[in-house]
Amino acid sequence: MFLLAGLGNPGREYAATRHNVGFMLADRLAEAGGVKFGKSGSALIAKGMVFGAQAVLIKPQTYMNLSGQAVAEFVSFYKIDAGSLLVFYDDCDLPLGKIRLRKDGGSGGHKGVESIISALGSKDFPRLRLGIGRPANLPDSANPDGPELKDYVLTPFTCEEGVIVDEMLGIALDAVKEFMTHGIDVAMNGFN
């Protein structure tokens, strides 16, 4: 069984924001598997066959910075081993539209991933980073009034960016399928 965890923030006001691209991929996966989300514990969950394998999809409802609570809850309940967990989330260090699979590693400063590492007591789990880009005008000594990164991730995609995100989510769907079918190493070779 696989546990597929998309990270984001609950609530209508965050639904279309950059920080919720993990939730967007979870919705695509649920649609591909013909499963529906319902509330259970600290997450919205959808269970069923996805790409020919038994899977539990979760969208933590704990807000991004506490994602580890929900992920650990379902890892424990379903007795998921590290290799069968896939966490997907926004990454501002990747250009918009790019994806990267990793077998394990640190958080890269992502608070949701930090929370998961802390809750699981391990950084040894696969993850799929979804590129949202970084604004060119972040505050620095030359531009002290630029937008803060924390504000940027809570803004919606523009119409032009939405087209790129839609394509990225399609590629990410294929990457998740490859991960579930052939494992993280093969998926990394095919999509990184």
Is 182 designated active site?
Answer: no
Strand ranges (E), 41-162: 43-50, 53-60, 85-91, 99-102, 127-131
CA atoms of 58 and 40, how far apart (whole Å):
9
Query: Are the C-beta atoms of residues 80 and 120 closer than 8 Å to each other?
Result: no
Q: What number of other Cβ atoms are within 10 A of residue 163's Cβ? A: 12
CA atoms of 15 and 12, how far apart (whole Å):
5
| Distances from the Cα of 100 to the Cα of 9, 78, 176, angstroms | 21, 26, 11
Residue from 3, 5, 19, 165 carrying the catalytic annotation: 19
CA atoms of 192 and 181, how far apart (whole Å):
17
Catalytically annotated residues: 19
